[in-house]
Each structure stands twice: as C-alpha cells, then as structure tokens.
A and B are shown apart, each in its own frame.
Chain A
Amino acid sequence: MWEQIRANRRRSIALILVMALVLALLGAMIGGAFSPEHVWVGTAVAIAIWAILWLVAAAAGREIVLASVGAREITHDDIPRLFNVVEEMTIAAALPKMPKVYLIDNDAPNAFACGTPENSAVAVTTGLLTRLNRDELQGVIAHEIGHIKNNDTKFMTLAGVLLGAVVLIADGFLRGMLFAGRGRRRGSAGGQGAAIFLLLAIIMAILAPVFAQLLYFACSRRREYLADACGALFTRYPEGLASALEKIEASASRMRDVNRVVAPMYIVNPLQGASASSLFSTHPPTADRVRVLRSMAGGAGLAQYEAAFRKVHRTGIMGAADLRQVPEAPIRQPGGDSGVEPLEQAREAVDVLHRLGGYIFLACPCGLKMKIPPAYGGKEIVCPRCGRGHRVPSGVD
C-alpha cells in the first residue's frame, strides 16, 4: 500500500512550515516591539513556548484522550462483530498492527481514531453499535483506519500545537498591551524603530491566529474527505460509509458530554451544526461527503473518488501522483443483513459495559437475566419477576 496519500503529505508539510513561519514572525515582531535588538529573543521565546506545548501534547497523547471520553478497551469475546470488522479493515489497509478497540458509553453513534500506524486505537460509541448494520460499521471503521493509515493524528496534533502556540502568544501580547496602555505611557525604549515594530506586532497578533486557524481547519476538512476515500477503497463499498454518515449525522448533535478537544476527532463533529460549511469548520458538511460517496461510479478506488469529488465540487482533491498507480477496485455487493435484531445489538453492547464495570450477572430459573451492581456482592436479593430469593456471588467472577 502507499505510505500515505502524497498530496496529503505535501500539503501537510507546507501547512506546518507556514504555521511555524507565522509563529516565528509573530515572536519576532513582539520582540521588536519591546526593542528592535530583541527580534531574535522574541522568536526564540515563541519557539520555546511551542516546544513546551509540544512536549505536553506528546506526553499526554492517546491515553489522556481515551480516558477523557471514558473509553474502555474491549477484546474479541466482548463484541466479536466489532472486533472482526476492525481486524478485517486492518488487513484491507495493510496496517502493520491492529488498533486497540475501545468502547464509549454514549447513545449517539460516533467514532474516532488516534495514534500512529504502529500504535493506534479506534473508539466507537455504544450508539454506533446499536444503530449500524455490518456494512455501515465496516465503512466507519475503514474511515477511521484511513485516518491512521494517512498519519492524520500525528499531523493534526503537530498543527494543533502550533495553532495553540500562535493563539496563546497573540492573546497574551494583546492583553499585555491593554494592561500596559491603561497603566502608563510606554517609555521610548527604542524610538521610531520600536514604534513600527509595535504597530506590526499588533497587526500580526490580530491576524495571525485567524490565519493559522483557517489553515488548520482547511487541512482538517481535506483529511476527512481523504479518509472517506480510504473508507470506500478498503471496504469496496462506498454506500456503507455513506449511509452510516447519514445515520450518525441524524443524531450526532444530540451527543452528550462532548469534550471540546476531542470533538474534531470524531467521524462527524458533534459540536458542529448540520448545515455548517464555514471556513472555521473542522469537518466538511456531512451531506456533501455523502453526495461525493454516492456519486462514485464504476469502482471504489481513489480514482473514482477523485472523479466523484470533481463532479460535486468542480475541483479535485488528490494529486496526479496519487492516481498514477491505483489498482482497479470494483464495488462489491452489499453483505447480507446481520440477522441480529437491533434490540439484541443494543443489549449486547450494554452487557459489555456492565461486565467491564464489574457488574455481576445472575440468571434466575424463571428466565430473567439480572445485572447486579458490584456493591451487592455477597448479599441476598429477590428476583423482581418471580420473587425467588438469590444469594449474589461476591466479588468479580
């Protein structure tokens, strides 16, 4: 398989360089505003702030993100269907290592991925498992594995940290100016040179964060499209992802307890309005993504996605280098329906969460399956249906 979509990588490197340049310039102007000889000091301070933020992000990383959404790791025996789908898509994408699989207790269907190809994780909500059929689930997992394959998490963290540094420095400088301006008139430390730098610094401090954000969001939207292209390619079935996106969109905004930092990582951004297509969106409008996927004709490969994208947007998204050696990828037939009732799937997902939470499962001879909180271990309970008494086994079995 290709290392990652090349147009993707080239643009990402350009993005990182431009943002680093913006950061360095901002630092230089602010340094110059204090005194023209301090231009380099300003740059050095800006880069130091960026390095500190980067170290924090690198150290915190995956585990913190997963813990902050309350994701729990699951194994094959917990939900074989989900696990099998992840394994299939790992094979289809030729990832060097299968991602760890996590489950989030949330009724709204959604999913995200994080990590590098060598050490990654995929997290899905219980709502996703209960609402999607197997083809749709496969499409979502393929999209997430596309993100991992394309190294999106790494680039977006790097870009996000740069953006954070620019915003932090610009904000700090402007606040400082207000404070200093109210307190006393600035001494004429550097004369006219400093005054010019001061003006430039103020302009930079106002414009740089906006500019950096625009770049960052444009890159993020582009990567969502490319992950969709990978989703279609790996499953050979664009309709699965398209119909999953519609289902997710229908209830994503109802997702509760969404963490602001994690929101842009989901397959559909739960904090973004349905019709949003502004320059400040992390995701393209879902309806638009669905339209591109449904316009794919004659195959599920990158070339067909590019053609469909051109049909919808009148402009392409991949470079010529990406399309030179793409194999044919005929669209496959939809898999049969799972045959499992949605209610059954919901029960399955919730059971897993209970088991992971240390709940005790007890079957009453009347046929009722009771799930008892761990606090009742070793106590006597009565079956709510038939009235038989039971002693709850203590501790985790």
Chain B
Amino acid sequence: MPGLIVLGIVIAVVVIAVLWVVATYNGLVRLRAQANNAWAQIDVQLKRRHDLIPNLVETAKGYMKHERETLENVVKARNMAAGAQGPGAAARAETGLSNALGQFFVVVERYPDLKANQNFLALQEELTATENRIGFARQAYNDAVTRYNVRIRSVPANLIAGAFNFAPMELFELGVEAEREAPKVSF
C-alpha cells in the first residue's frame, strides 16, 4: 500500500513537471512568434519606403540638375537599405537612408518649383505617413522583443529557454539622428 502511494505521488509530480514544461515552452514559442510577426510588419513598411524613393528621385531629377551628388547619395543609401539583412544591419542602413533623405529635403528647399509639384507633394506625404508607420511598427516590435527577452532570462523559464535554444532577439534601434525627430504629422 505505501508503495502505491509513493508511486502515485511520483507519477503526479512527473505529470505536473511535464505539463509545466509544455506550457512554458508554448508560451516562449508564442512570444517569439509575436516578435517575428512584428518584425514582418516593420519589413512591410520599410519596403514601402524603399519603393517610394525611385519615384521621388525621378520626379526631383528634372528640377535639380545641379544636385547629382545628393540624388546619387539617396539612391545609394536606398539600395544599401533594401539589401540589408536582420534588425542590426537594417537599422544601420535605414539610419543612413534617413540621413541622406534629410539632406535631400534640405536641398529641396532651394527649388520652389519642385516643392509645388503635385506629384512630388503626394510622394512626400506618402513618405511621411510611411515613416510614422515605421515608428509604430518599431515600437510594437521592440515591445514584443523586450517581453520575449525578459521571459527567456527569468527563472525558471530560462531552464526551458536554454534547453530548447531560445536565443535572445535583437532590438531595432534607429540611429541617434533619426531618433531625435518626433513622429511627423501626415495626412
């Protein structure tokens, strides 16, 4: 009889332990999936921005005959950003693109005809709206990653994370210069 009771207790403990492992593992998988989904959203918005830039440059070319270098810098930065892989590299390339665009818009101020061009205005608006969306997508992604990273480091979930190779994920931080800009207003 006592043997049976001990056996029962052992079985109960094992069952509870297995259930806990399964639940924790599933929780980690869910958090990681949320972070990956959020990254996909950033990716969509970054692509949108990359697709807008050739049109923007094409429209500006006709007006800005003497600014070849500025335009080439934008195109170069855009191509670098489009080819970047992973949050770290993408963040660096996107910061470069933001800086190039910043210089471009400073130069645009000298061309009133371009600033009045309807097509250019529409593109500029679309670009600002996209940058807003990138900001919020980055916010959602960093929240999800923080949640996941805190979870895989905290006791006792870190045991499961270590056993099943849940690696910490990278935050997506844009460079200081781009960071300082408040989200712009768009319509």
Which residues from chain A contact B80 at a C-beta distance below 8 Å? none
**Chain A: interface residue total (CB-CB under 8 A):** 28
**Chain B: interface residue total (CB-CB under 8 A):** 26
Q: How far, in angstroms, from A328 to B183 measured CA to CA in the complex?
A: 18
B4 within 8 A of A: no
Q: Which listed residue, A1, A334, A336, touches B144 by the CB 8 Å rule? A: A1
Known A-B contacts A94-B37, A94-B38, A333-B182; A84 and B187 likewise in contact (beta carbons under 8 Å): yes
Closest A-B pairs by Cβ, 3 of them: A327-B146, A92-B136, A333-B182
A93 within 8 A of B: yes
Can you name 9 A-B pairs with beta carbons within 8 Å? A80-B125, A81-B186, A84-B133, A91-B45, A94-B41, A332-B182, A332-B183, A336-B184, A336-B185
Which residues from chain B contact A257 at a C-beta distance below 8 Å? none
Known A-B contacts A81-B187, A87-B133, A91-B136; A335 and B182 likewise in contact (beta carbons under 8 Å): yes
A89 within 8 A of B: yes
Q: List residues of B whose CB falls within 8 A of some A CB.
A: 34, 37-38, 41, 45, 125, 129, 132-133, 136-137, 139-140, 142-144, 146-147, 150-151, 182-187
Residue-wise interface mask of A (321-333) relative to B, using a CB-CB cutoff of 8 A (1 in contact, 0 not):
0000101110011
Residue-wise interface mask of A (80-105) relative to B, using a CB-CB cutoff of 8 A (1 in contact, 0 not):
11001001110111100000000000
Q: How far, in angstroms, from A17 to B57 measured CA to CA in the complex?
A: 62
CB <8 Å contact, A338 and B185:
yes
Which residues from chain A contact B133 at a C-beta distance below 8 Å? 84, 87-88, 91
18 A-B pairs besides A2-B147, A80-B187, A134-B185 with CB distance below 8 A are: A80-B125, A84-B133, A84-B186, A89-B136, A91-B45, A91-B133, A93-B140, A94-B41, A325-B147, A325-B151, A327-B142, A327-B147, A332-B182, A334-B182, A335-B182, A335-B183, A335-B185, A338-B185
The chain B residue sitting closest to A235, CB to CB, is B136
Q: How far, in angstroms, from A378 to B178 measured CA to CA in the complex?
A: 54
Q: How far is the CB of B46 from chain A (nearest CB, A)?
A: 13
Q: Which listed residue, B37, B132, B137, B140, touches A84 by the CB 8 Å rule? A: B132
A56 within 8 A of B: no
Q: List residues of A whose CB falls within 8 A of some B CB.
A: 1-2, 80-81, 84, 87-89, 91-94, 134, 234, 236, 325, 327-329, 332-340
Which residues from chain A contact B45 at a C-beta distance below 8 Å? 91
Q: How far, in angstroms, from A390 to B84 measured CA to CA in the complex?
A: 58
Known A-B contacts A1-B34, A94-B34, A325-B147; A236 and B139 likewise in contact (beta carbons under 8 Å): yes
The chain B residue sitting closest to A334, CB to CB, is B182
The chain A residue sitting closest to B129, CB to CB, is A84
CB <8 Å contact, A335 and B136:
no
Q: How far is the CB of A134 from chain B (nearest CB, A)?
A: 5
Which residues from chain B contact A334 at a C-beta distance below 8 Å? 182
CB <8 Å contact, B185 and A88:
no
